[in-house]
Every structure is written in structure tokens, then in C-alpha cells.
Amino acid sequence: MHPYQDATRPVAERVEDLLSRMSLEEKAGQLFHSMLMMNADGTPVTETDGSMLPFSTPELVEARHLTHFNLLGTYGAREMALWHNAVQEMAANTRLGIPVSLSTDPRHAFTDNVGASFNAGAFSAWPEALGLAAIGDPELVFHFADTVRREYLAVGFRTALHPQIDLATEPRWARQTGTFGSDAKLTGELVRAYVRGLQGEELGPDSVAAMVKHFPGGGPQKDGEDPHFAHGKEQVYPGGMREHHLEPFRAAVAAGCSQMMPYYGQPVGTDWEEVGFGFNKGVVTGLLREELGFTGIVCTDWGLLTDSVIFGEKHVARAWGVEHLSVAERTAKSLDAGADQFGGEQCPEVIVELVGSGRISEERIDESVRRLLREKFVLGLFDERRYVDPDEAAETVGRADFKAAGAAAQRRSLTVLTDGPLPLSGRPKLYVENVDPAVAAAYGEVVAAPAEAELAVVRLRTPYEDRPNRFESFFHSGSLAFAEPELTRILSLLGTVPTVVCVNLERPAVLPEIAEQAAALIADYGASDDALLDVAFGRAAAEGRLPFELPRSMAAVEAARPDVPNDTVDPVFAHGHGLAI
């Protein structure tokens, strides 16, 4: 037995022993955190068509020496556990047997975006992070994160690519649904609870490591566009609120978060270098490492180095501000900035080339590999936590009490903006839109047309502009206002029958006319039809308060400063609004 395989030895000693045995190629593989998909039956993908992933699982694990992966797609719990074990077995059979560390974007709510999150599927379903913010209860967030931890551990996920603690200050930005809203103080309180729920009091074999994102705060995007795409690369601070956006990250570091992800954004008009944060030494080393004292792993956001193909369409590397550099030069600049690992990349040969040319020292590579190996040892991946039990996974994921807690949180998160006839009573004749008629039938007599109804219940989503690129179409951007002819159709319905309108706020909808004419208006952030109707009929209490303001017009949105919370003139509903019924 080699010393690194001996669980009785101190972690630091095990790390140094393993590091001393690694080739440069094996070290280089550790610096990449790439994506995998699996077959629905729980077997690894051994061939790829290149439409999403350029390499098969054996190519990445055996030939390219990668040991960090995030799983794309939604699958059954037992199948995920079987897949995890199969990938671990593949890794165990490599020369040094370094275990894989598996990660995932959020999986416990309703949003399904291959670039950001997955719907709950087999896992317990909770409101989006915005809904947790609407409740504003740190103990609930701790309970949520602890549930996530237990369900993730069951299938083998050991790193959560969350929480996302950017401040929702630009109403048009596509990523707000994953945040805790616009309040920096509340976000700080909730991230402390979240990290504690995932990691425990300290990182160990029963922890899921928290990769907090997106440092130093990705909210203030110019025109609200997202820096996954070149037209959204600029991040601006016209209100001078840069320090304000750092507040939640100070809380996350103080809470002991294990990992941190810098964002894609390229700061413009500040004293920071005008390059994406993953290449930005003043931000990663100067601010995060030296000023905030962060000692954990820094992993870049996905796809900073190389161009990629997503859904068969080409996407350029998100190398904002360094587009002119070669892949090797970008890699070196990010390492110089202080990054340990590259998300969504799989080019270890570039690291080998940089060391061979003398541009990057092997000692610099060792510095990052030490951090990455240490976490594997601390999480127990070399020991008792290498494999999971598929039967236990099937029993744990989506357990009845987890689902019940998530369902209760959905109800609590609903935000009553205007109450009108609420709570409803009796069994009225109901006309419904975007509500399952079979669910509604438990609350009233469902009718086919508004003219036949005594009451309507209608669910709407915050508007967005269609984007032609398939991947970008998942990132709902652009106008927040209901457009014609849909607005006239909605208002005609509201004029025909008293209507309870529920709008899903993945972003702050512009809805002054709807708010004025609806019999009652409720906001949701991910909630089932049962949850909505339970609240409407007084069977459950809504506790939500708006986690951001709802603007009066798009002109007000365009005039607001993207780094300043709740900055639109005369909002229809202010931040924190919500009624008790």
C-alpha cells in the first residue's frame, strides 16, 4: 500500500505522497472540470457524436486523466448511482486510481436549462432560490441545503455548483431566478445557512462541497444581457455599487465555502483590468485570495478557453477581453490570475505544453493540484465514500418527507400582490389556463370557457424575447413587458370573469395593466398547481415577499442603473411587498 492509500495517515501527507507519484500529464488532468452525460440505464457514454460533448467518458478518464465532472441531464436515482459507481470503477482502474469528483448544477426546482440548472425530476421539488429569498428564513434554507446534501450524497454528487449569490439588480438579466434577489444583507444570511447545510460545520466525508458563484457578483450586466454570449460580456457599475455586490461573497468566505467560481463578465469602467473575471488577477488573487482570505479552490466558469459546439451550433470561447490570445495564452493568464481549475474544458495537453515551454512552472501546477487532491481526501473519496448504494439512492432521493418539505416551501414562497376575493371559498365554476384541469377539479367545477365560469385561475410567465440560437433560447432575456396581441387577450379575459392571476417571476415582470385588472395577483418562483390553489383557497398560508421590485415600464428599466438594487422609478410593487391572507 502506498502512503496516499492509507486512511490512517494525515491528509497533508497523503496529498504530498500522491503528488510525488503523478506524471505531469496526470497533474494536468486534475485542472479540468468537464461535463459528462450518461445513458438512461446508468451506463457511461462510451461514444459521442460531438453535438454536445467532444469526448467519451473513457477518453476523458483513461486517456486525458480528468477526475472532475459535472453531469448533464435528468435521470432516475438508481440509474445515477449505478452510473456514478461505473465511472468510479473506471477511475479506480487507472494507474494511480484517483477517484472522480462529481458535481451538478441545481436539481431541486423547476427551471430546466442545460447551461444553468435542471428540473427536480427524481429529487424533491422546492421553489427556486428566489422563492427561498421570498420566504427569507435562514433556517429553512439550511434545511433545504441539508436535504440537497443528503439526496446528492445518495447518488454520488460531491460538489454543488451552487449557491448562486449574485444580486438581482438588473431586471432584464436572465440568471436572476437562481439568486436570492436584490438584498445583499439577506443574501449574506441565506448563503451562510446554505453553506452550512451542504458542508456541515466543516468539510468531511458527509459533506457536499459548495462552489459559490459568480465572484465578484454577476448581477450588473450591461442592458441585462448574459455573458455566456459575446453581446452580454460587459459588466458595469454606473451607480458605484461594486462593493455592495461583494457583501454576499464576504459572507460565503466567512462561512467556509470550499470553492468559488468567478464569472464570465468583463468589468468596464473600473480600476480592474478589463478582462473576464476568470482571467483577472486583481480580482482572483488580489481581492478573493488576499483581501477576503479565501484558501479554497477557484474554478472558472465553463468554456473560457476553447470554442465549443452546443446543440450542433458553434459557440466561441467566453474569453472576454482576451479573445485575441491563443488557447495556451488564455490558460496561462488564468493560472497567473490564480485559478486552480477550468470549468467545461478538457485540454490537459495545453498545461503540458505551457510547462514544457517554461511559461508556467510545474510548481505552480502543483499548487493547484494540492488543493484539488486535498478536497478529494477530505471528502472521503479515496476511502469509504468512493462508491454509493443504488438501493439507498432509490430510497433517499425524492423521499416522502423531503418532497413534503419542498411542497410546503413552495406554498410559503407564494407572494400575494393583490388579494381581492382571496381566500376563495366553496366550489366555484372555474376556468383555468396553464393549470392542470385534473388538479383544479379538486377545488371547483372546471368549465371550458370564461363565459361559463364564476372565476378564472390563470398562470403566466414573465415575458422574454426569443433568441435564434438554441442554447441562448434557454436564457430568457430582453423585454419584461407583455406584448400584443397577448396583452389584449389577457386583459379581455380579466374583463370577462374575475380572475386570479399567478405570474412566475423568473425575472421582474412589467405588468401594470394586469395588476390593475386582475381580481387577485400572486407571484410564484416555482410552485405546483396544488400549491397555488391551496393558497388561493385558504388551505395554506403564503408568506412570500417580493425579492426585487416589479417595474412600471420598460422605459423605467432602461433608465435604471444595473448595479443599483431596486432602482426603477415608481415601481408597481416595491421590493419586500407581499400580503397575508
pTM listed for this prediction: 0.96
What does DSSP assign to residue 286?
Answer: I
Burial of residue 18 (CB within 10 Å: 0-12, 13-18, 19+) is buried
What amino acid is encoded at 445 in this protein? E
What amino acid is encoded at 148 in this protein? V
Measured at the CA of 251, the angle between CA 249 and CA 255, to 5 degrees, comes to 115
Chain position carrying cell 459546439 = 309
d(CA 221, CA 219): 6
Chain position carrying cell 410546503 = 408
301 is catalytic: yes
Count of C-beta atoms within a 10 Å radius of residue 559:
12
d(CA 352, CA 178): 36
CB 510 within 8 A of CB 481: yes
Q: What integer pLDDT is reported at residue 393 of this predicted model?
A: 98
Catalytic one among 166, 183, 301, 340?
A: 301
Q: What integer pLDDT is reported at residue 51 of this predicted model?
A: 65
d(CA 180, CA 182): 7
CB 160 within 8 A of CB 208: yes
d(CA 526, CA 211): 23
Number of residues written out for the chain: 581
Tens digits of pLDDT across the chain (581 residues): 899 999 999 999 999 999 999 999 999 999 999 999 999 999 999 887 766 788 899 999 999 999 999 999 999 999 999 999 999 999 999 999 999 999 999 999 998 776 777 888 999 999 999 999 999 999 999 999 999 999 999 999 999 999 999 999 999 999 999 999 999 999 999 999 999 999 999 999 999 999 999 999 999 999 999 999 989 999 999 999 999 999 999 999 999 999 999 999 999 999 999 999 999 999 999 999 999 999 999 999 999 999 988 888 888 999 999 999 999 999 999 999 999 999 999 999 999 999 999 999 999 999 999 999 999 999 999 998 899 999 999 999 999 999 999 999 999 999 999 999 999 999 999 999 999 999 999 999 999 999 999 999 999 999 999 988 888 888 889 999 999 999 999 999 999 999 999 999 999 999 999 999 999 999 999 999 999 999 999 999 999 999 999 999 999 999 999 999 999 999 999 999 999 98
456: left (phi over 0), alpha (psi -120 to 50) or beta: beta
For residue 77, which of 108, 122, 36 has the smallest C-alpha distance? 122
Q: What integer pLDDT is reported at residue 475 of this predicted model?
A: 87
